[in-house]
Amino acid sequence: MDEFSKSTQAFKAETQNDTSQPTFKQFIIDNTDQTDGTHFIAYQIIYKFPNGYGASVIHGLYTYGLELAILSFDDNVDYSIAYDTSVTHDVMGHLTQQELADTLNDIRNL
């Protein structure tokens, strides 16, 4: 299985609440599946944690594998990318499934 297929499988496992993986399903506020071949980003999940931070996780043919950006929420709807956290100061790409779970946990604990 190639890397794209592996990361797609990991991404789908998170959204389908695969019990073999750490789950953050209760924090998902948006889950987009655009696998019709007309979009650059095939999948996107938006997470929002009680601490006011969250994450945008994307995957597609034109992304760097599983890609994560930390979000800062102004309220329940509006958010922007946070470049000033102790987790990272940029978008993170080529994440493994374990790195994704660890990073989501780090964001939840900010």
Residues of the chain with pLDDT under 70: 1-22, 34-41
At residue 104, the pLDDT reads 95
At residue 79, the pLDDT reads 94
Looking up tokens 């499988």, which residue turns up? 9
CB 69, CB 55: distance < 8 Å? yes
What is the number of domains present in the chain? 1
Domain that holds residue 102: 3-108
Where is 105: in which H helix or E strand? helix 97-108
Give me the helix-helix angle, 97-108 and 3-15, nearest 10°.
Answer: 40
At residue 74, the pLDDT reads 92
CB 59, CB 69: distance < 8 Å? no
